[in-house]
């Protein structure tokens, strides 16, 4: 005898209808207007959203849970699996992920390996400010090393030469998706007993010697701002396989609390009213015991839902970034008299964030004219973030050390810029970007 399944309750039927409407709405939006050269903007970066992102987000809204819940759990698990890591902790930005990473290294949970005020962290002078700011925010001292085109990452020898008696850690970004020499730098970190944080905000899916970036360091960080490989609007994550680092980062993310119950859950340890913490009354509610001077850097389940849908498409996004890089590289070959083209690090396969270019010596003075030429044709351009960070207004008067010279970082600040290759750009758009660059230098298209 066969049984028909019981009918779904009215609320479940309504939810299914709503989600179908959302998918239909998204499918209707899917066709982009035709590209008109010189009129249609070609942004340097952007998001690519589809029906799944909108349907998951609405599903999360309909749950009514709002704070990190089932979508966040699924997102963290999938991300940890992608990076072969024990743990992934979502947070509200890549900057927050870096703050959590550096702050976790200062946690008393690490015992004698915890960083102390005035300890040094070695980092690159050219890059994004919030790779470096958590060093200052934790009253530690940055030690800047140089980097230069065409790789835009510091050399392992420069990192090793920067190590001093107070150096305790290295934090480096894989610049614009191009991996730094992660294997060599991890070996240097191990040799000198330094922690290594990989800022992978621009490098989700890049590989070095066949291993994903984010799997070499003690901690990796990610950003899910719309410019990045996947997005949830605002968001980030910290990834680690070290249980002590995970515990410290989770506590710091969640107000500094000692308890590690998921939002809305109580007493997962079974000892909520049974603990004793030195100066606290016996049995003080563990949910309100604070082990760190923490923050609240959590995300909502709506953000996680969008992130989960994006993670399901990550392989396609990575492939599109690589393909778009190859299109630009091909279309710009022969411009080397004027432009230094980007070069992937040896033994690496970058999922590029952008396409960096550096003007050769005699062309460098023409950068403002070139950027203006591109801007007037609606081609988005960006500098390599802060350029030489030591020149930024907020760094003046601060304590830092420079190892060697920062001539390369100055060259990046004065002569480099990058154009877009994100998956939302079409071959026509990429060809037009390259054509306009060639045109500026009087080269045949």
Ligand X SMILES: Cc1ncc(COP(=O)(O)O)c(C=O)c1O
Q: Which of 119, 198, 202, 254 binds ligand X (CB under 6 A)?
A: 202
Indicate whether 199 belongs to the interface with ligand X (CB under 6 A).
yes
* 56-94 burial: b if 16+ Cβ within 10 Å, else e: bbbbbeeeebeebbebbebbbeebbebbebebbbbbbbb
Which residue lies nearer to ligand X by CB, 252 or 434?
Answer: 252
Active-site residue flag, 228: yes
Q: What's phi and psi for 167, nearest 5 deg?
A: -70, 130
Instruction: Confirm or reject binding of residue 225 to ligand X (CB under 6 A).
Output: yes
Residue keyed to tokens 């606290």: 280
Would you say 128 or 195 has its CB closer to ligand X? 128
Q: Quick one: tokens of 75?
A: 């997102």
Question: Smallest distance from the beta carbon of 173 to ligand X, in angstroms?
Answer: 4
Q: Nearest-CA neighbor of 307 among 94, 130, 90?
A: 90
* Choice between 419 and 437, CB closer to ligand X: 419
Q: Rounded to the nearest whole angstrom, what is the least distance from the CB of residue 146 to ligand X in the complex?
A: 17
128 touches ligand X (CB under 6 A): yes
CB-CB neighbours of 417 under 10 Å:
20
239 touching ligand X, by CB under 6 A: no
Query: What DSSP string describes 102-162?
Result: HHHHT-GGGGGGS--TT-EEEEESBS-HHHHHHHHHTT-EEEEE---TTT-S--HHHHHHH
Q: Which is nearer to ligand X, 151 or 236 (CB)?
A: 236
**Nearest distance, CB of residue 96 and ligand X, angstroms:** 7
Cβ-proximal residue to ligand X, closest one: 94
Name which of 44 and 94 has its Cβ closer to ligand X: 94
User: Residue 303 interacts with ligand X (CB under 6 A)?
Assistant: no
| Contact call for residue 130 and ligand X (CB under 6 A) | yes
Q: Tokens standing for 439?
A: 């045109």
Contact flag: residue 355 with ligand X (CB under 6 A): no
Q: Least distance to ligand X from the beta carbon of 233, Å?
A: 10
Nearer to ligand X, 142 or 331 (CB): 142
Catalytic, out of 174, 208, 218, 228: 228
Closest CA to 307 of 97, 91, 31: 91
Q: Which is closer to ligand X, CB of 119 or CB of 199?
A: 199
Task: Find the binder of ligand X among 52, 72, 90, 131 (CB under 6 A).
Answer: 131
Tally: H helices and E strands in the chain: 13, 15
- Candidates 17-25, 132-140, 222-230, 273-281: pick the segment binding ligand X (CB under 6 A): 222-230
Please provide residue 234's backbone torsions phi and psi, each rounded to the nearest 5 degrees: -125, 140
Q: How far apart are CA 208 and CA 347, in angstroms?
A: 6
CA nearest 159: which of 139, 189, 127, 117? Answer: 189
Q: Is 295 in the site for ligand X (CB under 6 A)?
A: no
- 66: region left, alpha or beta (phi > 0 left; psi from -120 to 50 alpha): left
Indicate whether 416 belongs to the interface with ligand X (CB under 6 A): no
Number of residues in contact with ligand X under rule CB under 6 A: 16
User: Binding mask 155-194 vs ligand X (x if CB under 6 A, - otherwise)?
Assistant: ------------------x---------------------
Q: Which is nearer to ligand X, 158 or 227 (CB)?
A: 227
Q: Does 201 bind ligand X (CB under 6 A)?
A: yes
Q: How far is the CB of 42 from ligand X (least distance, A)?
A: 19
CA separation for the pair 122, 172 (Å, rounded):
8
Whether the Cβ atoms of residue 144 and residue 386 lie closer than 8 Å to each other? no
Interior CA angle at 199 toward 205 and 180, to 5°?
70
Question: What's the rounded Cα separation, in Å, for the pair 156 and 28?
Answer: 50
Q: Does 236 bind ligand X (CB under 6 A)?
A: yes
- With binding defined as CB under 6 A, does residue 358 bind ligand X? no
Per CB under 6 A, the segment of 221-229, 340-348, 413-421, 431-439 that binds ligand X is 221-229
Q: Residue 304: exposed, middle, or buried by beta-carbon count in 10 A (0-12, 13-18, 19+)?
A: buried
The minimum distance between CB 321 and ligand X, in angstroms, equals 15
Binding to ligand X, residues 67-106 (CB under 6 A)? 93-95, 98
- CB 271 to ligand X: min, Å: 36
Helix, strand, coil abundance in the chain, percent, nearest 5: 40, 15, 45
Tell me whether residue 308 is exposed, middle or buried, using C-beta atoms within 10 angstroms of its C-beta: 0 to 12, 13 to 18, 19 or more: buried
Indicate which residues carry an active-site annotation. Answer: 228
Binding site for ligand X (CB under 6 A): 93-95, 98, 127-128, 130-131, 173, 199, 201-202, 223, 225, 227, 236
């Amino acid at each position: 005898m066969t049984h028909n399944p019981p009918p779904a309750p009215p609320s479940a039927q309504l939810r299914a209808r709503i989600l179908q409407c959302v998918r239909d709405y998204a499918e209707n939006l899917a066709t982009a207007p035709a590209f008109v050269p010189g009129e249609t903007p070609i942004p340097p970066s952007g998001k690519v959203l589809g029906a799944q992102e909108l349907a998951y987000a609405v599903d999360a809204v309909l749950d009514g849970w709002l704070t990190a819940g089932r979508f966040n759990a699924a997102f963290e698990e999938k991300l940890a699996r992608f990076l072969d890591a024990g743990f992934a902790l979502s947070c509200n930005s890549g900057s927050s992920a870096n703050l959590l990473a550096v702050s976790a290294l200062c946690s008393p949970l690490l015992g004698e390996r915890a960083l102390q005020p005035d300890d040094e962290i070695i980092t690159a002078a050219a890059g994004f400010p919030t790779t470096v700011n958590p060093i200052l925010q934790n009253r530690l001292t940055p030690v800047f090393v140089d980097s230069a085109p065409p790789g835009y990452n510091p050399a392992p020898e420069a990192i090793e030469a920067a190590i001093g008696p107070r150096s305790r850690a290295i934090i480096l970004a894989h610049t614009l998706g191009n991996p730094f020499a992660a294997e060599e730098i991890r070996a240097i970190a191990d040799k000198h007993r330094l922690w290594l944080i990989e800022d992978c905000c621009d490098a989700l899916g890049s590989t070095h010697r066949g291993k994903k970036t984010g799997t070499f360091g003690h901690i990796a960080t990610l950003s899910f701002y719309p410019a990045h490989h996947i997005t949830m609007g605002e968001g980030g994550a910290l990834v680690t396989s070290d249980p002590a680092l995970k515990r410290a980062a989770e506590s710091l993310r969640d107000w500094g609390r000692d308890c590690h119950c998921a939002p809305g859950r109580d007493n997962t340890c079974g000892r909520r009213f049974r603990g004793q913490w030195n100066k606290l009354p016996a049995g003080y509610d563990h949910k309100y015991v604070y082990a760190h001077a923490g923050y609240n850097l959590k995300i909502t389940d709506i953000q996680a839902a969008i992130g989960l849908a994006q993670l399901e498409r990550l392989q396609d996004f990575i492939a599109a970034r690589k393909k778009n890089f190859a299109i630009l590289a091909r279309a710009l070959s022969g411009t080397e008299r004027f432009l230094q083209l980007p070069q992937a690090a040896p033994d690496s396969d970058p999922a590029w964030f952008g396409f960096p270019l550096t003007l050769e010596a005699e062309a460098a003075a023409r950068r403002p004219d070139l950027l203006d030429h591109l801007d007037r044709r609606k081609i988005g351009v960006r500098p390599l973030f802060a350029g030489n960070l030591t020149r930024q207004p907020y760094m003046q008067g601060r304590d830092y050390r420079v190892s060697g010279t920062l001539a390369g970082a100055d060259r990046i600040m004065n002569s480099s810029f990058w154009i877009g290759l994100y998956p939302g750009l079409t071959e026509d758009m990429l060809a037009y970007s390259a054509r306009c660059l060639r045109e500026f230098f009087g080269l045949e298209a």
